[in-house]
């Protein structure tokens, strides 16, 4: 949905406070109601900020590298992203997996794919049902 919204010419986000927005306003003026999850916040500005961030980061030039948004969680909606590692190569006795510093891009892609699938099975098995049998 963020991709669809990022392609829109303009957006106007109306967010309620406490009990929400008068339903007559929703009926008369709102084209699309969006929920960011099944929980309650103190005001809609928090949800609007989450929505804005999800949309804005997909606009050209925002991330700096156009490929950044293509290789992350939910770029493939049926699986989570592979674990991320940064510097230093060793932290508190834990090392970055050797394959990630090997320079072998095919092996790195294979490792990332396998780890993404494993993380999805462990953390969000519901997403795997989206994969066609």
**Whose CA is closest to 42, among 18, 19, 21?**
18
Q: What pLDDT shows up at residue 72? A: 66
> How many CB atoms sit inside 10 A of residue 106's CB?
7
Q: What is the Cα–Cα distance from 93 to 87, expressed in whole angstroms?
A: 13
Q: What pLDDT shows up at residue 133? A: 57
CATH of domain 71-128: 1.10.1270.20
Q: Are 43 and 15 contacting, i.e. CB atoms less than 8 angstroms apart?
A: yes
Q: How far is CA 18 from the centre of its chain?
A: 26
Q: Which parts of the chain sit beneath pLDDT 50? A: none
Model confidence, pTM: 0.70
Structure token pair of residue 102: 């090997």
> CA gyration radius for the chain?
19
**Tell me: the pLDDT tens digits for 103-119?**
999 999 999 999 999 99
In the chain, which residues fall in CATH 1.10.1270.20?
71-128
Residue 74: partners with Cβ closer than 8 Å, 6 or more residues away:
80, 81
Q: Are 60 and 3 contacting, i.e. CB atoms less than 8 angstroms apart?
A: no
């Amino acid at each position: 949905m963020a991709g669809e919204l990022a392609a829109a010419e303009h957006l106007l986000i109306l967010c309620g406070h406490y009990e929400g927005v008068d339903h007559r306003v929703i009926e008369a003026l709102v084209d699309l109601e969006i929920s960011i999850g099944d929980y309650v916040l103190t005001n809609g500005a928090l949800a609007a900020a989450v929505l804005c961030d999800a949309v804005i980061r997909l606009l050209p030039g925002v991330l700096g590298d156009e490929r950044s948004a293509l290789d992350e969680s939910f770029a493939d909606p049926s699986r989570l992203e592979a674990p991320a590692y940064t510097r230093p190569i060793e932290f508190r006795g834990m090392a970055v997996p050797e394959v990630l510093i090997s320079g072998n891009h095919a092996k790195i892609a294979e490792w990332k794919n396998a780890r993404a699938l494993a993380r999805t099975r462990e953390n969000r098995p519901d997403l795997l049902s989206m994969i066609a049998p």
